[in-house]
A = this chain, B = another copy of it.
């Protein structure tokens, strides 16, 4: 934690506040901004304006919009970071890396507990649900799509593949940890990883791409 009082700031917008106060003011402003505009439309600039601080200070404390969101909804973990930590794997092991990383994270009680709440909220019809949905979709889909693009896949196709990966992962987490359906709920991380990896790898590789089975076009890009 950096003490802002040791960095005298220019007069003007930023009020004279302790670092704790500024941090809290930013978090409060973010909470209001997210609630009013939703995750996608909320901006660091708008949050800074609301908190009457400089945008740079927001970045300083919270790094990114995702970080701010995680703070505001008190996420004990950063789903976007967990997913990204799997990205070092080579292309042909990326599915396994993603599945194992996510399943392993969910073995921690704190992650599972908040994860179940987040999944329930995301599926619900509430404003909070919409917010969480936007956060997860933007951050998780976006980062997976970015990783797929790095393998030389066109953006629209990468976007679709990332979405398909989310269908398999979200479904597995819901069945295992929300519905707790056996025998899947009791499977070890290793066994479930082996079962889910081929499916996730197939989505990453674009298996089934171009298949239309006699149906007319439709665009794969949003």
Contacts and interface: CB of A to CB of B under 8 A. Distances in A.
Contact of A164 (B166, B174, B184): B184
A196 B169 CA distance: 13
Interface string A195-222: 1111100110001111111111111111
Count class of interface residues, chain A: 35 or more
Given A174-B171, A202-B198, A163 B183 contact: yes
Contacts of A75: none
Contact of A212 (B120, B170, B190, B215): B190
A154 interface: no
Interface string A154-196: 0010011001101111111011101101111011111101111
Interface stretch (A30-38, A44-52, A122-130): A122-130
Contacts of A194: 208-213
A65 interface: no
A119 interface: yes
Contacts of A178: 123
Contact of A181 (B124, B166, B179): B166
A182 B133 CA distance: 12
For the complex of A and B, list the 3 residue pairs with the smallest distance between their C-beta atoms, beginning with the closest: A171-B171, A194-B211, A190-B215
20 contacts: A123-B174, A141-B181, A160-B183, A160-B187, A163-B182, A163-B183, A166-B175, A166-B181, A167-B168, A171-B172, A188-B215, A189-B215, A190-B211, A191-B218, A194-B208, A194-B209, A196-B208, A197-B208, A198-B202, A199-B202
